[in-house]
Amino acid sequence: MTQINLNDLSQLQAINKKLAGGYHISEQDTTLWQELDQHIESYQALFAALGHDLQHDARGFYYLASDESTPNMGKISRAIALTVFILIEYYANQGKDPLRALFDEQIDLELMQTLIQLNKHLSDQLEIFSGSDLRKDVFLRMLRLGLCKETERGFVLLAPVYRYIDALMEVNEDNFEALEEEV
């Protein structure tokens, strides 16, 4: 059992507040990320004792894993996943490396409007009808969850978006396997 010295966990309150709210702490959150990185075993043991599963993703972020999902969170997650999916598709159609563009490109209001226009049938299902809706209903939520950061010109996605990419890849793989079974 890991011995936990609470005096060593100088950022415990801030880290708990962020993680408990669904936030992903990534390398851009320098102080909190370094604190977790230096004391990961203590934090994991403490969160486990509180009934939480603190995860460290090697791609540079920490989060609390959860099996529980509220209907509202499901809608938010679907909107985020759809947005990531249509961004990947958009960048691929532009001839760019979608994964590189996903993390390097600025996502401004003009691009958001373009995404909505190109994917009207999908965005209508989520009740997102404009670039402004996409900004308010998806990107500002992504910001609150630590999935992106806001810049002068828009938003830039951060490493925790890999959780959605992984989920999309898993769904795609499951669909591919189902198709193979039919053939």
- Per-residue pLDDT tens for 119-170? 999 889 889 999 999 999 999 999 999 999 999 999 999 999 999 999 888 8
Please check whether residue 45 is in contact with residue 144, taking contact to mean a CB–CB distance below 8 angstroms.
no
pLDDT computed for residue 153 by the predictor: 93
State residue 3's pLDDT score. Answer: 77
39/173: higher pLDDT: 39
* Mean pLDDT on 15-28: 96
Full DSSP string of 16-64: HHHHHTTPPEETTSHHHHHHHHHTHHHHHHHHHHTT-EEEEETTTEEEE
Average pLDDT of span 66-71: 59
**Nearest-CA neighbor of 36 among 3, 66, 61, 53?**
61
